[in-house]
Structure 1
Amino acid sequence: MRILVHKEKCQGHARCWSMAPDIFDLDDEGYIVAGDIDVTPDDEKKAWRGAKSCPERALEIEK
Structure 2
Amino acid sequence: MFIAIDETKCMGHGRCYAVAPELLTDDDEGFVAERGRCWEIPADLVGEAQDAADACPEGAIVVTETAPADA
How high is the sequence identity, in percent, across the aligned residues?
33
- Offset at residue 4 of structure 1 (A): 1.0
Higher helix share: 1
- Pair 1:37–1:14, CA change in 2 (3 A): farther
Cross-structure match for 1:23: 23
Q: How does 1:1-63 map onto structure 2 within 5 Å?
A: 1-33=1-33, 34-63=36-65
Gaps of 5+ in 1: none
Across the aligned residues of Structure 1 and Structure 2, the Cα RMSD in angstroms comes to 1.1
Question: How many residues of Structure 1 are paired with residues of Structure 2 in the alignment?
Answer: 63
Gaps of 5+ in 2: 66-71
TM-score after normalising by structure 1: 0.87
Runs of 4+ in 1 over 2 A off after TM superposition: none
